[in-house]
């Protein structure tokens, strides 16, 4: 159902529009290099960097892309660091399966 809008003259304001928060993607490459939005981040510094980013964000969501050949332990260790850094929602990025069911 679609509603027809009513034209109104909105009041002007001097404040700047609220910035849209950038979507954050953490990528784990097959050689265990970690990238935060395409910038390499050492595992040891990941907690602090994420903590700094998320302390002032209202959306505490991070998307995780991990190479399928990585060890389960490495992925879980990284996820644990992400949670400790203040990330509240962790989305796993996958590709659709090409197999038919």
More confident residue, 94 or 9: 94
- Domain range list for the chain: 25-92
8 A C-beta contact, residue 69 and residue 32: no
Chain segment 28-67, per-residue pLDDT in tens: 999 999 999 989 999 999 999 999 999 988 899 999 999 9
Closest CA to 18 of 62, 51, 58: 58
Distance, in Å, from the CA atom of 57 to the CA atom of 54, rounded to the nearest integer, reads 5
* 1 confidence band (pLDDT: 50, 70, 90): very low
- Structure pTM? 0.73
Output the CATH code of domain 25-92: 3.30.420.270
Residue showing tokens 């953490």: 26
| Token output for 57 | 């964000």
- Please say if the pLDDT value at position 89 is more than 90: yes
């Amino acid at each position: 159902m679609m509603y027809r809008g009513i034209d109104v003259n909105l009041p002007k304001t001097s404040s700047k529009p609220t910035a849209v928060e950038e979507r954050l993607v953490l990528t784990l490459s097959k050689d265990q290099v970690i990238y935060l939005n395409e910038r390499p981040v050492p595992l040891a510094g990941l907690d602090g960097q994420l903590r700094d980013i998320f302390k002032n964000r209202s959306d505490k969501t991070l998307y995780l892309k991990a190479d399928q050949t990585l060890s389960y332990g490495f992925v879980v260790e990284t996820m644990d660091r992400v949670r400790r850094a203040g990330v509240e929602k962790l989305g796993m990025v996958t590709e659709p399966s090409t197999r038919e069911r």
